[in-house]
Amino acid sequence: MKQLTLNISDNKYHTFLEFIKTLDYVEVPEADPESLSELDISLKQVKMMQEGKIEKQNVQAFIDEL
């Protein structure tokens, strides 16, 4: 199976996605909602760190958590 990456305008994304789901030879995997939620939280934390709203964690503290 081949994989293809496309850039679709935000306003046309949903329509395009619904269309390609109708094609019997195209597989559209569903995203795991829990993983997406965790990723969203992480991205918000990074943005807050960049804005100085929360303190950045040093490398040693990160390693200790692992």
Q: pLDDT digits over 14-41, tens only?
A: 999 999 999 999 998 888 888 889 999 9
Average pLDDT over residues 37-46: 92
Domain chopping of the chain, boundaries? 10-65
Question: Model pTM?
Answer: 0.49
Question: Can you give the pLDDT at residue 16?
Answer: 95
Which helix (H) or strand (E) covers residue 37, if one does?
helix 33-50
Residue 59: pLDDT above 90? no
Residue 65: pLDDT above 90? no
Confidence of residue 11 (pLDDT cuts 50, 70, 90): very high
CA angle 57, 59, 66 (to 5 degrees): 95
* Cα of 19 vs its chain's centroid, Å: 22
